[in-house]
Every structure is written in structure tokens, then in C-alpha cells.
């Protein structure tokens, strides 16, 4: 029961942190989660006890987190910036570990050199969540951003491997440089080879399973979730680096299908969403666990009579200063080298204040977090001799303190040093930005559809692509237009449709089930179009109609589940009703435009939309028996395209190219189109 309570607290903490992050965007998410962990530790200490098993923590958190980072890595950027990335990810990690190890052992002789080296290695990896959140607030140059992303991936593996060697030496009490160097090479290159072989094997196995006809989203996602754990455990079983193997498997992206089809596209969308949720949850849980460990670590270290409290604080600040100082000098040397040797495509520029500023940005962006804390928790309580690991609490306390300080510096100091992110809303009109982002969304969907079309679905895919190209052209036209009057006219047209439908119901022209079903659809379209509900004035007739619609739709939903349902016979009547109301609105629009009551450009645009709808309704009625296969394929591909569009909208929102309201507007528009697609009795 205590484990269940802990899991519940951690889950609620992650969920609450997501809400607070939206309310207080200036404070980084890791700091919020650490604060929630401290609250849990203080107020729930009598209910739960957080005890972490090192080996389980390593495989449960580090393996999937590294796999996610490797899976999403930009392989081209890694290759282009391989020199500085390797310098930071391997060279800087080794140098930092050695310098911090020597310094910490000199300050606290009770901490062995090997244990101090282990802390230095643990402080090598930078935190992906902190760096990603910073990129939304400040303007990081493209080259520096690519280097930081590559460092995030590779220094995790190098830092963990070095930490494991140093920790092994600290536990056994023996350390042979030659033997350690040989073992390191075996672990490193053995991990590379194991990751490649296992990745290839998983890929072949998945293809064979698909050949048997087992190809669905559930299997695909569960298979992929198992990969990092199995790769890590198998690599460790043959005594090579499981961490390196997991990174290689992630870079190979072993479970990504190389063929393209709508079903595979849907599986990839589901897979990406699941990994996003898992990544957010794991990162959040680790930071909350950090918060839960801080009070205990502080209490043990604070009560240690061998080290004064002032000295403890001083150690944390000194180790942080050494860490950042070494990183700054290293980055400064890298910038100096880059200005002197820019490469083939680089532009040679003088080494000056701007180079120093960029080196300082990279330095302060190297905040420590999830991986550092994860591997610190793997320090065992007892050594091989049976004795307690010396100064374990002090090492973890210093590591936690360094994590906190680097996160605070990254959150509050980096925005002062780096230029603020120049949003398009500050450069151009917000409306123009909205349609430019929408154009990018549509363009990305077109590219994905084009890449995933096959010989069998080419005709249906091109039909959907053509509709997206039409929307893209309309979005470009709308950049210089004012949509307000058009929206008002669109709402008025929906009111005319509702009035026409009510009249036909009252006169018995249309079946009341079909009529109220269609009225419900019109009401949903109206809400999505105006993006508000509370602004409507109270109207008894509207309220009565709404209640009747709910009752009818509920009854129809029940009837559809009954055997021998005759509702399919009403689909033709629904099409006739839609066509009739559309022609009715077109007639009113033409009359209003002729009398000059509405702007001609808006009325003509709306008339074209309704006429296109009439044409589609007529076409679907006349060709239903001859093109049913193409229609079904087109419907599947269109639905897949809508999911792609929703995913692109979310990405634009996460990149802060649009705000929450604009993202909601785009999603509502997609919902309208999905309603159109799924509108069947």
C-alpha cells in the first residue's frame, strides 16, 4: 500500500507541475517539480518512505530516458557538429571529473579520490528539460543549439560509463589505470557493437512479425517500449555498457518502419505521443524524487559533526564554481577554434565580445538534472567489504546542491545574458503570423502525406493532398485579409441553416430525427466558429431546441447499437437536407450581396464554400456505387492527415510560435473538418 501511495503522490505531483508551469512560465519546470517533491517529503514523511534501489533506478529511469533522447536526435546535426559535440561530451566530461575529483578530495579527505571522481562524472551530463525550456525564452544561435542537443545525448553515456568505473573503484578500493583503461575500451566499443547488433535483430524481428499480419498500434508501441529495457539488460549480461548500447539502438531507431502506409503513419503518431508522455512523466518523477531526497540529505549532512554547516554550503558553491569555470574555459577555447577554423560553409568572424557571450550562454545552459540525479542515486549504501559507503549522504547532498544552483542560474541568469527570443508577433501583425504558422502546418502535413503515399493508395492520397493545397492557397490569401467580417457572416449563414432546418421539421418535409441530428451538428459548428458559449443571449426557443437535440442524439446512439437498425436508410435524407440548406443559404447570400447588405468579397468566398459542399454532396450521391473503394481509402487518409495536423499544431504551440488561444482556434477548425468527415447517421 505504501508503494501505491508513493506512486500516486508522484503522479499527482507531475500533473500538478504541468498546471503550475502554465501559470508561472518564467520558472523552469524542473524547479517546480523539485519544490513539489520537497512539499511531499515534508508533509507526507509519516505516510511514505522513499527508498531507491540503485540497480532498479538505473534501468527503470536512465535506459528509457537515454533511448528517448537518442530516438529524437537530429542525426545530420550530430554529424555536422561532431567535433565540438565530442569535445564537450567526452573531453569536457573527463576533464571536469578529474578536476572536481581532485578538488573535492582535497577539501574532504574522507571522500576517496575514486568517490570524488564519481561525483565529478555524475555532474557531466546536462539536463534536456532545462535546456529545452530555455530555448523557448532566449535566442540560442543555431550552431550552439545543435551542439547543446548533441551534448545532451552523448555526454549522458560518457558520464555514466566513467561514473560506473569510478564507483567500482570506490567500492572495491582498488584502481589500476591500465586495467581500467582496457575495461573502458571493452565496455565502450562492446556497447557500440552490442547496440548495433541488437538494433538490427529487433528490426528484423519486427519485420518478420509484420509479415505474419500482426501490425497494429498497440503491438507497435508495446514492442518499442520494451526495446530500451531489453537492450540494456542484454548488454549488461554480456558485460558491456548497457548505456552505450541503448544510445546506439535509439540512434538506429530500430522499430521505425521503413515502408509507408496510412496504418504505419498512425502507429508512428501514437508511438510519438506515448513516448512524449513517458518522457515527461519520467523526467518529472526524477525531479520530484530529488525534492523528496533533499530534506533527508540535508538533515543527515547538517547533523554531521565532522563538517560544519557553513563549510557544506561553501563546498556546494565551490564545486559549482569549478564546474562552470572549467566549462566556460572549455567553451571559450572551442569558440576561439571555431572563429579561426569555421569550416567549408562557415563564415569567418573575429573572436570578440560576441564569442565570449556565446561561450557564456553554452556554459550556463549546461544545467544539471535528471541523469545526474539518477546516477547519484545508484551509489550503494554498503561497499563490497560490508561497510557503509563513506560520506554517501554528503556526496548526494553536494550533487543535489549543484543541481539546484545550475538550474537557478539557467532559469534566471541566462535570460539576462542571452538576447530574448524575438517572436514574430513583435515583428509582424499577429494575424499575419497566425496564417503563416497555419501555412507551415499545412505544408508539413502535405510533405508527410507525400512521403507516405504508396503505389496502392496514390490516387486517394493525391485527392487529400489536393484539398490541403487548396487550404494552403487560401491561408496565403488570408494573410492580407481581415477575417472578422467573414466570421460574422459565417455565423449568420449557420443561423440561416438552422432556421431552414426548423421550418422543414415543422412542415414535415424532413424526418425529425434527421433534422435534429443536423441541428446538433450546426450548433457544434457554431460554437467552434465563434469560440465562445457564454456570450450568447438566453433564448427559450434555442434552449428547447438544444434539449430536444440532446434527447434525439441520445436515442439515436442507443438505436444504432440495436440489431437490424434502419438508420442507414436515413443517410440519403441527411444528404438531401444538407444540400437543401446549402442552396437556401447560397440564395440568401446572393440576394444580400446584390442589395449591398454584405461585403461582396466575403459573400462570394462563402458562396464558393457552400457551392463546393453542394458539389461534393451531389458527387457522393451519384458515384457511391462506382467509387466506394477510393472513397473509403480517401476517408482513412484524410482522417490520418487530420491527426498529423493536430500534431503539427501542438508542435507549433510548444515552440511558442502561437499562443494558447491561437492553438485552440486551429484545433477547433480541425475538429470542424473531422465532424464533417464523421457526420453519419
Task: List, for residues 6-21, the tens digit of each pLDDT value.
Answer: 778 888 888 898 888 7
pLDDT of residue 424: 43
pLDDT of residue 4: 77
pLDDT of residue 626: 41
Instruction: Report the C-alpha gap between 396 and 379 in whole angstroms.
Output: 9
Contact 103, 111 (CB under 8 A): no
User: DSSP letters of 467-494?
Assistant: HHHHHHHHHHHHTTS--HHHHHHHHHHH
- How many residues are present in the chain? 681
Specify which residues 388 forms β-bridges with.
382
Phi and psi of 138, rounded to 5°?
-120, 165
Q: How confident is the model at residue 324 (pLDDT cuts 50, 70, 90)?
A: very high
Mean pLDDT of 230-259: 79
pTM given for the model: 0.60
Mean pLDDT of 600-606: 76
* CA atoms in the 13 A half-sphere facing the CB of 596: 0
Q: Is the pLDDT of residue 428 over 60?
A: no
Contact 112, 170 (CB under 8 A): yes
Domain ranges in the chain?
53-421, 426-559+569-678
Instruction: Report the C-alpha gap between 462 and 486 in whole angstroms.
Output: 29
Q: Is the pLDDT of residue 555 over 70?
A: no
Task: List, for residues 116-164, the tens digit of each pLDDT value.
Answer: 999 998 898 887 666 665 555 566 666 777 788 778 777 777 788 888 8
pLDDT of residue 544: 61
pLDDT of residue 535: 42
Domain covering 53-421 assigned CATH 1.20.1530.20 in the classification: yes
Query: Which single residue is written with the C-alpha cell 436508410?
Result: 569
Contact 88, 147 (CB under 8 A): yes
pLDDT of residue 138: 61
Q: Is the pLDDT of residue 653 over 80?
A: no
User: DSSP letters of 208-246?
Assistant: HHHHTT---HHHHHHHHHHHHHHHHHHHHHTTS-HHHHH
Q: Is 576 exposed, middle or buried (0-12, 13-18, 19+ CB in 10 A)?
A: middle
Q: How confident is the model at residue 99 (pLDDT cuts 50, 70, 90)?
A: very high
Task: List, for residues 155-209, the tens digit of each pLDDT value.
Answer: 777 788 888 888 888 887 776 667 767 777 888 788 889 998 998 888 888 878 8
Instruction: Report the C-alpha gap between 548 and 537 in whole angstroms.
Output: 19
**Radius of gyration of the chain from Cα atoms?**
30
Contacts of 259 (CB under 8 A, 6+ apart): 454
pLDDT of residue 264: 61
SS3 453: coil
CA-wise closest residue to 85 among 1, 36, 180, 149: 149
Task: List, for residues 528-552, the tens digit of each pLDDT value.
Answer: 666 543 344 445 555 565 666 666 6
pLDDT of residue 323: 93
Instruction: Report the C-alpha gap between 145 and 130 in whole angstroms.
Output: 13
Contacts of 650 (CB under 8 A, 6+ apart): 663
Query: Which single residue is written with the C-alpha cell 502506409?
Result: 261
**Which segment, 125-134, 200-209, 264-273, 666-675, is predicted with the most confidence on average?**
200-209
Specify which residues 382 forms β-bridges with.
388
Instruction: Report the C-alpha gap between 505 and 541 in whole angstroms.
Output: 14
As given in the structure block, the three cell numbers for residue 458 are 496514390
% of the chain surpassing 90 pLDDT: 5
Contact 637, 464 (CB under 8 A): yes
pLDDT of residue 437: 82
% of the chain surpassing 70 pLDDT: 73
Amino acid at each position: 500500500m505504501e508503494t501505491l501511495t508513493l506512486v500516486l503522490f508522484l503522479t499527482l505531483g507531475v500533473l500538478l507541475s504541468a498546471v503550475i508551469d502554465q501559470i508561472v512560465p518564467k520558472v523552469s519546470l524542473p524547479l517546480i517539480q523539485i519544490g513539489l517533491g520537497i512539499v511531499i517529503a515534508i508533509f507526507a514523511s509519516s505516510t511514505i518512505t522513499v527508498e531507491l534501489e540503485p540497480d532498479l533506478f538505473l534501468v527503470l529511469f536512465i535506459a528509457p530516458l537515454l533511448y528517448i533522447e537518442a530516438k529524437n536526435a537530429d542525426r545530420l546535426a550530430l554529424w555536422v557538429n561532431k567535433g565540438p559535440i565530442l569535445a564537450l561530451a567526452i573531453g569536457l566530461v573527463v576533464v571536469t571529473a578529474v578536476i572536481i575529483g581532485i578538488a573535492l578530495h582535497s577539501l574532504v579527505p574522507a571522500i576517496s579520490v575514486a568517490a570524488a571522481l564519481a561525483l565529478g562524472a555524475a555532474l557531466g551530463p546536462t539536463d534536456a528539460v532545462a535546456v529545452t525550456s530555455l530555448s523557448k525564452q532566449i535566442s540560442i544561435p543555431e550552431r550552439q543549439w545543435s551542439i547543446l542537443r548533441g551534448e545532451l545525448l552523448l555526454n549522458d553515456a560518457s558520464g555514466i560509463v566513467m561514473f560506473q568505473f569510478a564507483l567500482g573503484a570506490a567500492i572495491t578500493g582498488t584502481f589500476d589505470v591500465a586495467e581500467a583503461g582496457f575495461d573502458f575500451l571493452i565496455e565502450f566499443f562492446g556497447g557500440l557493437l552490442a547496440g548495433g547488433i541488437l538494433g538490427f535483430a529487433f528490426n528484423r524481428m519486427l519485420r518478420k512479425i509484420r509479415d505474419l499480419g500482426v501490425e497494429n498500434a498497440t503491438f507497435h508501441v508495446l514492442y518499442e517500449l520494451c526495446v530500451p529495457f531489453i537492450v540494456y539488460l542484454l548488454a549488461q549480461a554480456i558485460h558491456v555498457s548497457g548505456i552505450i548500447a541503448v544510445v546506439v539502438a535509439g540512434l538506429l531507431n530500430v522499430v521505425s518502419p521503413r515502408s509507408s502506409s496510412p496504418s504505419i503513419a498512425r502507429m508512428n503518431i501514437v508511438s510519438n505521443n506515448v513516448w512524449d508522455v513517458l518522457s515527461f512523466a519520467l523526467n518529472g518523477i526524477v525531479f520530484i524524487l530529488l525534492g523528496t531526497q533533499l530534506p533527508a540529505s540535508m538533515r543527515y549532512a547538517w547533523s554531521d559533526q565532522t563538517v560544519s554547516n557553513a563549510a557544506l554550503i561553501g563546498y556546494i558553491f565551490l564545486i559549482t564554481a569549478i564546474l562552470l569555470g572549467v566549462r566556460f574555459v572549455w567553451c571559450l577555447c572551442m569558440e576561439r577554434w571555431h572563429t579561426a577554423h569555421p569550416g567549408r560553409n562557415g563564415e569567418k568572424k573575429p573572436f570578440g565580445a560576441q564569442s565570449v557571450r556565446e561561450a557564456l550562454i553554452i556554459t550556463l545552459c549546461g544545467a544539471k538534472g535528471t541523469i545526474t540525479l539518477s546516477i547519484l542515486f545508484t551509489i550503494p549504501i554498503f561497499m563490497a567489504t560490508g561497510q557503509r559507503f563513506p560520506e554517501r549522504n554528503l556526496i548526494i547532498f553536494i550533487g543535489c546542491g549543484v543541481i539546484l544552483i545550475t538550474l537557478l542560474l539557467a532559469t534566471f541568469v541566462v535570460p539576462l545574458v542571452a538576447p530574448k527570443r524575438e517572436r514574430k508577433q513583435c515583428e509582424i501583425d499577429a494575424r499575419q503570423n497566425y496564417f503563416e504558422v497555419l501555412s507551415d502546418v499545412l505544408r508539413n502535413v502535405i510533405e508527410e502525406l507525400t512521403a507516405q503515399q504508396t503505389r496502392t493508395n496514390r490516387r486517394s492520397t493525391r485527392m487529400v493532398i489536393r484539398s490541403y493545397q487548396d487550404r494552403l492557397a487560401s491561408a496565403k490569401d488570408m494573410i492580407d485579409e481581415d477575417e472578422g467580417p467573414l466570421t460574422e457572416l459565417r455565423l449568420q449563414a449557420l443561423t440561416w441553416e438552422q432556421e431552414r432546418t426548423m421550418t422543414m421539421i415543422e412542415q414535415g418535409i424532413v424526418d425529425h430525427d434527421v433534422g435534429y441530428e443536423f441541428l446538433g451538428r450546426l450548433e457544434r459548428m457554431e460554437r467552434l466558429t465563434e469560440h465562445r458559449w457564454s456570450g450568447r443571449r438566453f433564448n427559450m426557443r434555442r434552449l428547447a431546441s438544444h434539449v430536444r437535440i440532446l434527447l434525439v442524439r441520445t436515442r439515436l446512439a442507443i438505436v444504432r447499437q440495436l440489431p437490424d437498425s434502419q438508420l442507414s436508410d436515413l443517410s440519403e435524407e441527411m444528404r438531401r437536407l444538407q444540400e437543401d440548406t446549402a442552396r437556401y443559404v447560397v440564395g440568401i447570400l446572393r440576394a444580400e450581396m446584390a442589395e449591398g447588405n454584405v461585403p461582396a468579397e466575403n459573400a462570394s468566398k462563402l458562396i464558393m464554400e457552400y457551392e463546393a459542399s453542394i458539389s461534393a454532396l451531389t458527387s457522393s450521391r451519384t458515384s457511391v456505387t462506382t467509387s466506394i473503394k477510393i472513397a473509403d481509402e480517401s476517408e482513412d487518409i484524410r482522417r490520418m492527415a487530420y491527426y498529423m495536423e493536430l500534431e503539427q499544431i501542438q508542435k507549433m504551440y510548444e515552440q511558442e510560435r502561437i499562443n494558447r488561444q491561437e492553438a485552440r482556434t486551429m484545433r477547433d477548425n480541425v475538429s470542424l473538418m473531422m465532424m464533417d468527415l464523421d457526420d453519419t447517421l
